Structure 1
């Protein structure tokens, strides 16, 4: 098992993490100041105010405060992503997809009941059903695409929204279907070329080339094998690796690129991020017990991982991929 990076937190933050119950995805905000955790079991989102400070050794991580967000439009919160620093989207596996604005001010250890800015249902020919993970893609002319894994209809749909129109879905599209069986996680490469989708039922990750039009008949360009029950996944900033959380083992698997993601490949490296006791305690079935949510912070130094038996843990990117990762320039988006 690779060493964790310890983090500083108040007793109130630790209590909130201990009480969150079953977790699924998690996501850093664009400015790296918030970490959102999907509270599937308690039907809420936990927003953590976080500082990551680079040092000569492991980064110093401090969680300064938190807020718990609840809503009638939050159910079994399975996936989430940020549109900008103040706006986020939630995928409810037992419901629909909802767009929310963060409450004004800093997190202050409080709970808030918040209304949605918009609930996304899809259209008659592209209806959202059992939405799980979601990825936000910035488009031209101020638009955003929500790429949504519809878990039990085995497809990924695309919903184009715009702030000016109150985040109403202007266009709904069946984006991907070939090769997917319970798509359980989704990630976009930083150059926009590739989209990776965890396929729980086929025990692998499918990768699709976004440089060409996508649709119902699009076949995967690449397959990441031997992932057991893949869930959260992320491309590293330089696009050289994909990290995959394996819900069916204590492992995070690393897949290495060869100047692209076409073809089949096996992990170049696998590392344990859960101790045996924690893993076995959560092993209700062969599909459970391991890490669920996974994200890489915007400095490309820290990997955050979550699951029910370990609500939050941090690891160095270099300790997982086995080398020093390139450090990007942080892209801080407008907070409005």
Structure 2
């Protein structure tokens, strides 16, 4: 674990945020946003990550705590750009916010959404959880939303040139999913990874024009426990999965083609036993939930209610796996 630098005010804000879900680095790597699910607020941290002689050095300079009538049980979030954020409220809808212009300086602010996304007809949002942003052409942005309790991923296209007005809604993924609880896109745009809580695995779908609710997953990452946060490394050769039912983050190794079935190449402990047991209300809880890799591909951030924020060097999570290629970890169907 990286012992990050932070002043007393930042540490107090982290302690006060309550139950967390997802977290996300901004594209410029200067901000880290954490979903404050229980207290219905967003915590935004000003962060620096630098290379040190003994590994990455993480400094949290300051924070801002944001509330809104359009923020409720925040489960998922993703940046559209450095200052624009899409938030998925488990008990409501998706809202798009422009972050305050000022730098985080220990303030609490109330803000308003610049757009709310509800979906339409057979594609209405229902229990939205994790969310992934996909940038398209001509000012369009796709919001891929896990609808937890309808076992469905929906796609909502908004146009930034039209003030993020929704221009289309689509039922995107359904086959094989049982409580989709996390979602990530590969950097080459070829793959969508979705954590499936009920089936205790991660489904991988190949991106194509024919993608739809009946599309079978092309790959399955098995033995994932109760998977939540999921992330591709920058070269798309590894996938990290946070297991909410254990103390672990699982590492899957591949060659960029995620077809077939795979087991973890390594599982790294990210919670001590005492912390884990404090949150162990059921076999599905206690472990890490939110997970992200910073834009330099050197630091992994994880969060859960009992450990609001922890950082790890990506190399320590790998533990040598990065040099193993497949090493038997991915068994192609």
- When normalised by structure 2's length, the TM-score is 0.95
Q: How far apart, in 1, do the equivalents of 2:5 and 2:51 lie?
A: 14
TM-superposed CA distance for 1:259, in Å, is 4.0
**SS across alignment from 2:11:** helix
1:219-255 Cα deviation digits (max 9, x unpaired): 1000001111000010001111000000000000001
1:284-329 Cα deviation digits (max 9, x unpaired): 1111000000000000000000000100000011111123869xxx
Could you tell me which of 2, 5, 18 is aligned with 1:21?
18
TM-superposed CA distance for 1:125, in Å, is 2.0
**SS across alignment from 1:16:** helix
Structure-2 change in CA distance of 1:193 and 1:240 (3 Å): same
**Residues 301, 325 of structure 1: 8 Å contact kept:** no
Partner of 1:186: 183
TM-superposed CA distance for 1:54, in Å, is 1.1
Gaps of 5+ in 1: 327-336
Q: How far apart, in 1, do the equivalents of 2:51 and 2:209 lie?
A: 39
Q: How far apart, in 2, do the equivalents of 1:325 and 1:76 lie?
A: 37
> Which residues of 2 match residues 163-312 of structure 1 at below 5 A?
163-312=160-309
Q: How far apart, in 2, do the equivalents of 1:242 and 1:105 lie?
A: 35
Partner of 1:333: none
TM-superposed CA distance for 1:58, in Å, is 1.2
**SS across alignment from 2:165:** coil
1:116-155 Cα deviation digits (max 9, x unpaired): 0001000112100000000000111121100000000000
**Residues 266, 321 of structure 2: 8 Å contact kept:** no
Q: How far apart, in 1, do the equivalents of 2:56 and 2:127 lie?
A: 37
**Residues 37, 72 of structure 2: 8 Å contact kept:** yes
Aligned Cα root-mean-square deviation (Å): 1.1
1:194-219 Cα deviation digits (max 9, x unpaired): 00000000000000000452101101
Q: How far apart, in 2, do the equivalents of 1:176 and 1:77 lie?
A: 22
Count of residue pairs brought into register by the alignment: 323
The answer to whether residue 72 in structure 2 is matched with residue 84 in structure 1 is no
Partner of 2:41: 44
1:102-129 Cα deviation digits (max 9, x unpaired): 0111011011110000010001121000
TM-superposed CA distance for 1:162, in Å, is 1.0
Aligned structure 1 segments of 4 or more residues deviating by more than 4 angstroms = none
Q: How far apart, in 2, do the equivalents of 1:154 and 1:27 lie?
A: 23
**SS across alignment from 1:59:** strand
Q: How far apart, in 2, do the equivalents of 1:310 and 1:80 lie?
A: 19
- When normalised by structure 1's length, the TM-score is 0.95
**SS across alignment from 2:80:** strand
The answer to whether residue 318 in structure 2 is matched with residue 318 in structure 1 is no
**SS across alignment from 1:180:** coil
Structure-2 change in CA distance of 1:283 and 1:324 (3 Å): closer
**Residues 253, 321 of structure 2: 8 Å contact kept:** no
